[in-house]
Structure formats: structure tokens, C-alpha cells
């Protein structure tokens, strides 16, 4: 496992004290705060405004999990000290660490046998295949997939996989589950592997192709376990790691309702340092809300709802809004997110037990809409040499209006060909 190379304050030890599990199937069903070792202490994220505030936090900490470069830290402190610390004049916030999960609908799907090369409909409907024919493949771009990991043995991913790291509990914390410690996708989970394939499955003779088939994919493992949970602190650490490496794009197909301050700090810092941040809007749409949310309401999850992040909703093959897709003024773009064919582990929690065990599957969720946009960002930043701000503006300007309300589609459906000026 590659070690994080922090340019500012570094890790004191790996983020992820205890094993906290979020929900991969629905938004906001995680267990909440990170596991406590005693009834008297709790893991909190603390943002401070000065060295005085930092010292105040450290003086109350029994252990320190992580010190960020953006004036925040994660520590275990006595629960009785929280209010006192929060009242300190140089403390910006004190929040109990929370668990976030991947965003995907839970339908069981048969594995797909993909022999000859196939172009998934999301790649073709957005014009990414036409862009590839003109030489726009994302060569030289670096995309971080902050997720459950990437299957390093998959034939469509192995040659594109770069370095990365993991911000999850060590094997000793979860050894009873038999999960690997490194960046590889967890046994049977396949969420990160599926996301990675949408971003940049390579263009070979078999299987599928991604939006940016020559981009380098970096596994930043921030979710762990069969249900794919990860703490806000570990995800924030992953975002900071991406910025420290100078990578172009970060895909976050994960989320939870309600603002999380340490994530707000992390995405602001990364965006200012040149990272294009793309996140799943959430699956809290019509299926979860009856009546559906009005124009004045939002069901968009965090971190997608942050201003610095492109919040991506999901459409189907007919450019209709997916029934599960979250809506709200934060939605910036929509992209194909229903029945998305992509890479998978040979055996995974979404597929049935029929033979043969093929390594492709169709899944639905805004988790799989977001990586279409991340892949497009890689093309713009790698091939067209745009900054993260310029790439974001180009994606907005060239999005296709598919006739949905603004709270549903934002600026419109992703149009890769238009963004690159390809006919």
C-alpha cells in the first residue's frame, strides 16, 4: 500500500478507529458516529481558527487520529469536554465523526457475459466514444476513485491502475470479515470497481470501455466492508491526499444527508488546489419521497451539495430522470445512471449465483452517473489542458438540455462531445 506523502501536517496514524459501517443501498442509513471504545470518549472532528484552538483540542485528546493541513484534526476526547471545547473562541466546530456510504440502488442483477468489445450506452449517449475517435482519451490525466477500492486484476482496469492509498481500519480491526487491507476492492463489494470502469475502463479487444480509457485510475480506499461504510474523517483525509498528489479529478460516489464540516474544509482546500471534485447527488428521489420534493426543497447529499463539488444526478437511456435521483438546486449536471454496464468482481453482492461468473454487471444509482462526469473532466484536464475551474465551466456550458426541471437536471445532461468540440 502506498504511503500518503503529505506536504503539510501528516497523519499520526491511519484514520479509521473502529469499524463503522454505512449503507451501500440507501442514503443515510449508517450507524452514525465512529465506534467508541468507552462510554466516556467519542471521536470528533475539530476545526480551529488559530494555534490556540489547535492546542485546546490537543489538550483534551486522549488519542489523535489525524491532523489535516487545513486547520482541523480528528481525535478521541471525553464526551464531557465537547461543549467546553466548542465554546472556545478559536474553535470553528466540533462534530462527532459520522459514517458515509456508497450510493447505489440494491436490485439484484445477473452478471453480464461480455466477450467482444462493447460500448456502454452512457459512453455513446454522451458522445465520449466520438471523442475517443478524435483522440480524446484522457492520456496524462489522473483520476482518484474515492471508494471501496479497485480490482487490480480486472483485465479492463489493471493497465490503467496507478498508485493510491487506503484510509480504512487495518486488518486487525476487521479480520473476522476476511477483507483485504490494501486498495483492492473488498471481497464481493465491487462498488469502486464498477465506478472505476465507468471512468476509465481501457479500450481493449474485450469487455467495456470507459469515458476516459487512457486516464490513470488511482484507488483511494475510504469505504470498507460488505456494506461499504467510511468515516467522514477518512474521506476528508482521502480528499486531502488527492490534492497533495496533484491529481486532476476526484470521484466521490458516496454521501449522506446533512452538512459535515470536516468534509467542507477538505473539498474547499482541494478545489482551491486545482482538483475537480465530482460526487453522486444521492438516491433520495421519487422512490424515497412521496410526494416528491418541491423546487424549494433539496434531497442532495453531502459532499455533492457543497458549492465546490459537481453534484451529479442520474438519467436513463431515454434522458428521463431516474426515479431514485435526488433533486435540488445543488444539482449541476445529470448523466446516465440506470442499468450502467461496467466492471465488477467475479462474485459480488449485487449479482445472482448463476454461472458463469463474468466480471461485468449492470447497476443503477447516482454512484454510476457521477463517474461519467469525472471521466469527462479527465478528458478536459488531460487532453484539453484546462484547469479544474475551466473544465467545470465547460461542462456546464455544453450540457444538453433534456427538458427536465432545473432542480432535476441542473445545467443539463453531460455532453462529452460538445465539451470537446467534437461533431
- In tens, the pLDDT along 178-200 reads 555 578 887 777 899 999 999 99
- Helix%, strand%, coil% for the chain, nearest 5: 25, 20, 50
How far is it, in rounded angstroms, from Cα 84 to Cα 94?
10
Q: Which residue has the cell 461468473?
A: 357
pLDDT band at 420 (very low <50, low <70, confident <90, very high): very high
The answer to whether residue 7 scores a pLDDT higher than 50 is no
* Spatial CA neighbour of 177 closest among 19, 22, 32: 19
191 is catalytic: yes
∠ CA 395-400-406 to the nearest 5 degrees? 90
pLDDT at res. 102 = 62
Calculate helix-pair angle for 366-382, 191-200, nearest 10 degrees.
40
Domain with CATH 3.30.70 in the chain: 41-96
pLDDT at res. 276 = 98
Inter-residue contact 229 to 30 (CB < 8 Å):
yes
* 234 vs 30: which has the higher pLDDT: 234
Q: What is the mean pLDDT of residues 372-380?
A: 98
Which one from 66, 88, 191, 218 is the annotated catalytic residue?
191
Question: CB-hemisphere CA count at 13 Å for 141?
Answer: 36
* Residue 280 burial (10 A CB sphere; 0-12, 13-18, 19+): buried
Encode pLDDT of 384-418 as tens digits. Answer: 999 999 999 999 999 999 999 999 999 999 999 99
* Spatial CA neighbour of 271 closest among 252, 257, 253: 252
Domain with CATH 3.40.50.200 in the chain: 102-419
The answer to whether residue 17 scores a pLDDT higher than 60 is no
Residue 72 in grid coordinates: 482541523
Inter-residue contact 217 to 145 (CB < 8 Å):
yes
Q: Where are the alpha helices (DSSP H) in 98-170?
A: 121-125, 128-133
Q: What is the mean pLDDT of residues 118-126?
A: 94
Q: What is the mean pLDDT of residues 79-88?
A: 96
Pairing of strands 276-280, 309-315: parallel
pLDDT at res. 88 = 97
Residue 376 in grid coordinates: 469527462
Report the range of poorest mean pLDDT among 30-39, 119-128, 191-200. Answer: 30-39
Inter-residue contact 41 to 65 (CB < 8 Å):
no
Highest mean pLDDT: which range of 38-47, 297-306, 348-357: 297-306
Q: What is the mean pLDDT of residues 128-132?
A: 96
Q: Where are the alpha helices (DSSP H) in 94-160?
A: 121-125, 128-133
pLDDT band at 326 (very low <50, low <70, confident <90, very high): very high
pLDDT at res. 118 = 83
The answer to whether residue 201 scores a pLDDT higher than 90 is yes
Inter-residue contact 45 to 232 (CB < 8 Å):
yes
pLDDT at res. 303 = 96
Report the range of poorest mean pLDDT among 139-148, 311-320, 356-365. Answer: 356-365
pLDDT band at 325 (very low <50, low <70, confident <90, very high): very high
The CATH architecture that domain 41-96 belongs to is 2-Layer Sandwich (3.30)
pLDDT band at 260 (very low <50, low <70, confident <90, very high): very high
pLDDT band at 353 (very low <50, low <70, confident <90, very high): low
Which one from 147, 156, 284, 415 is the annotated catalytic residue?
147
pLDDT band at 225 (very low <50, low <70, confident <90, very high): low
Q: What is the mean pLDDT of residues 222-229?
A: 73
pLDDT at res. 121 = 95
The CATH architecture that domain 102-419 belongs to is 3-Layer(aba) Sandwich (3.40)
Q: Which residue has the cell 485546546?
A: 56
Which one from 17, 301, 325, 367 is the annotated catalytic residue?
367
pLDDT at res. 9 = 42
Rg of the chain, C-alpha, whole Å: 20
Average pLDDT across the chain, whole number? 83
How far is it, in rounded angstroms, from Cα 156 to Cα 358?
13
Residue 419 in grid coordinates: 465539451
Task: Name the percent of the chain lying above pLDDT 90.
Answer: 64
Report the range of poorest mean pLDDT among 106-120, 125-139, 354-368. Answer: 106-120
* Spatial CA neighbour of 11 closest among 169, 237, 181, 221: 237
pLDDT at res. 301 = 94
Task: Name the percent of the chain lying above pLDDT 70.
Answer: 78
The answer to whether residue 289 scores a pLDDT higher than 60 is no
Residue 103 in grid coordinates: 450510493
Amino acid at each position: 500500500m502506498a504511503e500518503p506523502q503529505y506536504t503539510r501536517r501528516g497523519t499520526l496514524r491511519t484514520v479509521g478507529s473502529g469499524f463503522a459501517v454505512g449503507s451501500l443501498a440507501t442514503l443515510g442509513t449508517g450507524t452514525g458516529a465512529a465506534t467508541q471504545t468507552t462510554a466516556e470518549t467519542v471521536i470528533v472532528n475539530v476545526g480551529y481558527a488559530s494555534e490556540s484552538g489547535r492546542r485546546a483540542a490537543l489538550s483534551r485528546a486522549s488519542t489523535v487520529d489525524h491532523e489535516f493541513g487545513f486547520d482541523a484534526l480528528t481525535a478521541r476526547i471525553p464526551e464531557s469536554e465537547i461543549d467546553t471545547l466548542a465554546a472556545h473562541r478559536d474553535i470553528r466546530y466540533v462534530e462527532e465523526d459520522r459514517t458515509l456510504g456508497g450510493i447505489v440502488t440494491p436490485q439484484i442483477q445477473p452478471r453480464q457475459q461480455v466477450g467482444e468489445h462493447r460500448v456502454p450506452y452512457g459512453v455513446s449517449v454522451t458522445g465520449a466514444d466520438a471523442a475517443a475517435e478524435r483522440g480524446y482519451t484522457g492520456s496524462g490525466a489522473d483520476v482518484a476513485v474515492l471508494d471501496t477500492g479497485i480490482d487490480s486484476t480486472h483485465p479492463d482496469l489493471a493497465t490503467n491502475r496507478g498508485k493510491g492509498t487506503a484510509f480504512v481500519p487495518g486488518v486487525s480491526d476487521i479480520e473476522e470479515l476476511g477483507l483485504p487491507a490494501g486498495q483492492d476492492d473488498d471481497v464481493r463489494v465491487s462498488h469502486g470497481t464498477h465506478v472505476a470502469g465507468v471512468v476509465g475502463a481501457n479500450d481493449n479487444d474485450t469487455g467495456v470501455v470507459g469515458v476516459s480509457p487512457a486516464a490513470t485510475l488511482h484507488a483511494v480506499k475510504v469505504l470498507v466492508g460488505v456494506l461499504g461504510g467510511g468515516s467522514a474523517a477518512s474521506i476528508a483525509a482521502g480528499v486531502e491526499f488527492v490534492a497533495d498528489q496533484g491529481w486532476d479529478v476526484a470521484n466521490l460516489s458516496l454521501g449522506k444527508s446533512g452538512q459535515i464540516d470536516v468534509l467542507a474544509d477538505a473539498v474547499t482546500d482541494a478545489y482551491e488546489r486545482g482538483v475537480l471534485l465530482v460526487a453522486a447527488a444521492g438516491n433520495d428521489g421519487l422512490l424515497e419521497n412521496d410526494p416528491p420534493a418541491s423546487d424549494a426543497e433539496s434531497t442532495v447529499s453531502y459532499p455533492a451539495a457543497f458549492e465546490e463539488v459537481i453534484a451529479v444526478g442520474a438519467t436513463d437511456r431515454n434522458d428521463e430522470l431516474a426515479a431514485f435521483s435526488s433533486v435540488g438546486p445543488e444539482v449541476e449536471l445529470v448523466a446516465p445512471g440506470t442499468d450502467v454496464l461496467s466492471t465488477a468482481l467475479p462474485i459480488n453482492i449485487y449479482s445472482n449465483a448463476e454461472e458463469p461468473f463474468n466480471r461485468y454487471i449492470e447497476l443503477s444509482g447516482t454512484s454510476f452517473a457521477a463517474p461519467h462526469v469525472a471521466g469527462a473532466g479527465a478528458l478536459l484536464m488531460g487532453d484539453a489542458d484546462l484547469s479544474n475551474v475551466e473544465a467545470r465551466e465547460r461542462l456546464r456550458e455544453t450540457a444538453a438540455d433534456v427538458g427536465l426541471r432545473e432542480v432535476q437536471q441542473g445545467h443539463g445532461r453531460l455532453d462529452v462531445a460538445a465539451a470537446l468540440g467534437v461533431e
